[in-house]
Amino acid sequence: MRCSIPRPAARAFFSLLLLTSVAACASGPSGEAVLRPGPQHLPHLQAQGDLVIATLQGVTVTVQPLTPKGLDSYYLRRPALVNPFKTLPDLAKRPLAFTVRIQNQGRDRVTFDPSQALVVDQEDHRTVALPYDELYSIFSEGDEPDRALQALQETVLTNFLVVPPKLDRQGLLFFPRPEPGAKLLILDMGSFYIGSKEQLLLFEFEVHRAP
């Protein structure tokens, strides 16, 4: 299935989706936010356990939100790299994290600009992915700045990304923590193209909070 929707139509769909989300959300904030996949309103997206998978023509995009423990496990599976968050004195500053995997089994190249990715809650509060300059300013103050920055360069998606046919690429997207009243978040992977056609990718997550 090829999903290519003009941006005005995409904005209209996005607005309708937020209105539907406001009506569906009921519980109030308490405790640390944990994201779980919610119902997906786009036909080419499907929740499977902790994952949300987008199936496009020849391309699969898999997104998973990570808890702090999940982020620690992500770096434990890469023993050559230091866990950059372990180098910070204040663990409370950990951002919202997603793993993103792009598998290109098609004939066209895939391009994605992480700087255009957004997280939006049901009140239309929008935050952009943390750029490398901001991450640099945070981790350069840690205990092992050189190793932390090396880990970020090898694992975080901050630069314009090109995935040729028959290859795949994965990495992390970081965002500021959600607003205290957030009940639903949408990861909008704007500026995602297969060939010359932009794709609409809106990954929906419910925000659960510990009592």
The residue ranges of every structural domain in the chain are 7-25+33-209
The domain 7-25+33-209: what is its CATH number?
A: 2.60.40.3340
Is residue 41 packed enough to be buried (19+ CB in 10 Å), middle (13-18) or exposed (0-12)? middle
Query: pLDDT tens, position by position, for the chain (211 residues)?
Result: 333 344 554 555 555 555 555 444 444 455 678 999 999 999 999 999 999 999 999 999 999 999 989 999 999 999 999 999 888 876 656 899 999 999 999 999 999 999 999 999 999 999 999 999 999 998 888 889 999 999 999 999 999 999 999 999 999 999 999 998 999 999 999 999 999 999 999 999 999 986 6
pTM as predicted: 0.85
